[in-house]
Structure 1
């Protein structure tokens, strides 16, 4: 049975610098939670606090029902996988995996059974007599994971374990980690700065910034209903288009007026359900958020409600394989649309874009908080 993790009022200071600023977080038993955010946001420090590698300034950390503030790392029933693999270079794969069990005086037959099970599971059973220097990066990471798995702890902690791998290996290892979690059902806390990694692995994501958790929710909620401009801009590749404007009227309907650098403003009509949730008056400064996939070539998608067509000159065309990104100026910013390769025009040509306004997000320009949001997500 996996153990949950509860953080209550957790602070961490290094000297006068406050790195973790009052975090409350409840992770359910068996969950795969990803801590994601830019470099320096505090995610690795938070993981190290759970592991016991750093001491709390204040607050409580519980693993299961036990408060572990003063419990040493070896007694917390956790296993950690690091970015650097941290393998013993002079020991074989077999010795690296079983070393921890030997120091805990686990009986030899149990050591061999665990080694056999997890080396086959990780597909490294043919590498047991090699040294780490004879392995590829992906193989070394599998050995590091095997060393953690044989402990069979209640909680696994991963600190950017794939960041040293090339793109193809990252995708492969991501899949292996997800399979392992589905098979073992243990609680996992996983740190990364890669938001695609977070979206594909997590049952819930904690988006961190400057020592705070901005939003803690399921991946689809983080992507579809970000609570503020930071989350909206950080999660997504390419990022959400952020168009500064003001609330206005298009006849009797509510809209967002986006200035056109000397040209008349573009009035983006707001869907009725979003408009009905707004308390802000006309003229209120907002930011209109549109994901690139919400902007496409006019007339290429099935008809739907709340569509809006406008024309702009395409500045840059970026083929990515299955999609092509079109970069164009709208108001004071550059925006990105995602179109099918066959729909892409030449750079420098006028192009008719269609927007699915049912996917529009609205944020207060001053506070950055979502307006008319359906969910809180915190």
Structure 2
């Protein structure tokens, strides 16, 4: 049975510097929650507070309904996997995995059963007599995970566990971790700076900034409906295009005119109906790169807008090609099919799916 985690007005200060600033958060039993955000936003500190490696300055931490602020890490029914693996270099894989059970005086039969179960699950049963120095990075990470798994805790905490691996290995280990969660059903809190990891692993993502949680929602909601400019700009690779402009009303119709241009991006009716600003008010139009593509017809369809701009940079990525261009001094990126790409300096006819457009207020940054 997995345990949930509840954080209530949680704070953490180092001297005069407040790093965690009154976070309220409820993680359901069995959830896979990923903490993301820029360096220094507080995500690793928040994980360490849950683990008991740091002491909260204020607020409450509850695991499985139990207040654990003053409970030592070993008694919180959690297991942690670190970025550095933290394996004993002189011990074999077998001893690294069972060391915690040995210190807790778990019967040897139970130790052996747990070792066999999880070494087979992680496909490291043929490595049990090797030492960490004889293992690859991916194998060491599996050993670190095995050491955590044999404890059979209610909560797993992962602190950037894949950041030391090469790109190909990260992808395969990401899949293994997801399979592990699906099989065990335990609560996982996972810190990463990799947005792809966050999007593919999480049941919910917490986007952190400066000690606060900006948005806590399922991956699709975070990506499709960011609550503010920070989340919109942080999540996505490449990030959402942010185009400053002014509102233009024509009866019930509403458009955004980017500064310094004669272009008018028409807003779809559901979005226009939510706008309470006046004609001429400043806004920021948000467009994901994949909602800007090569125009296929002379006349755009409903909720489509077609315009031409010069190609400044072409960036092939394999399945897609990124085209960098300029609108009124703002750099924009479109994601197009490789066969639609054009050389730098040529005019390109773009089409925008305006149903994917987002609108933000420039002063508060909040989504409309």
Same fold (TM > 0.5) = yes
* 3-state secondary structure, aligned to 1:91: coil
Match in the other structure for 1:321 = 318
Match in the other structure for 1:108 = 108
Please give the alpha-carbon distance, in whole angstroms, between the structure 1 residues aligned to 2:129 and 2:265: 64
**CA distance 1:302–1:227, shift in 2 (3 Å):** farther
User: 1:59-106: per-residue Cα shift (whole Å, max 9, x none)?
Assistant: 000001100000000000000000000000000000000000000011
Please give the alpha-carbon distance, in whole angstroms, between the structure 2 residues aligned to 1:3 and 1:79: 13
Please give the alpha-carbon distance, in whole angstroms, between the structure 1 residues aligned to 2:144 and 2:298: 47
Q: Normalising by structure 2, report the TM-score.
A: 0.98
Aligned length: 368
Match in the other structure for 2:350 = 353
Q: Normalising by structure 1, report the TM-score.
A: 0.96
Please give the alpha-carbon distance, in whole angstroms, between the structure 1 residues aligned to 2:301 and 2:172: 37
What runs of 5+ residues in structure 1 fail to find an aligned partner?
372-378
Please give the alpha-carbon distance, in whole angstroms, between the structure 2 residues aligned to 1:193 and 1:351: 34
Please give the alpha-carbon distance, in whole angstroms, between the structure 1 residues aligned to 2:123 and 2:200: 22
User: Is residue 203–residue 219 contact of structure 1 (8 Å, CA) maintained in 2?
Assistant: yes
User: Is residue 9–residue 60 contact of structure 1 (8 Å, CA) maintained in 2?
Assistant: yes
Please give the alpha-carbon distance, in whole angstroms, between the structure 2 residues aligned to 1:320 and 1:258: 29
Of 295-304 and 130-139, deviating more is: 295-304
Q: CA deviation at 1:305?
A: 2.7
Match in the other structure for 1:94 = 94
The alignment's C-alpha RMSD in Å is 1.3
Please give the alpha-carbon distance, in whole angstroms, between the structure 2 residues aligned to 1:365 and 1:166: 39
User: Is residue 250–residue 269 contact of structure 1 (8 Å, CA) maintained in 2?
Assistant: no
Match in the other structure for 2:29 = 29
Please give the alpha-carbon distance, in whole angstroms, between the structure 2 residues aligned to 1:103 and 1:248: 70
Q: CA deviation at 1:259?
A: 2.1
* 3-state secondary structure, aligned to 1:243: strand
Please give the alpha-carbon distance, in whole angstroms, between the structure 2 residues aligned to 1:279 and 1:342: 41
User: 1:200-240: per-residue Cα shift (whole Å, max 9, x none)?
Assistant: 00000000000000000000000000000000000000110
Structure 1 consecutive aligned stretches of length 4 or more whose deviation exceeds 3 Å: 300-304
* 3-state secondary structure, aligned to 1:296: strand
What runs of 5+ residues in structure 2 fail to find an aligned partner?
none
Q: CA deviation at 1:333?
A: 1.1
Q: CA deviation at 1:282?
A: 1.2
Q: CA deviation at 1:248?
A: 1.1
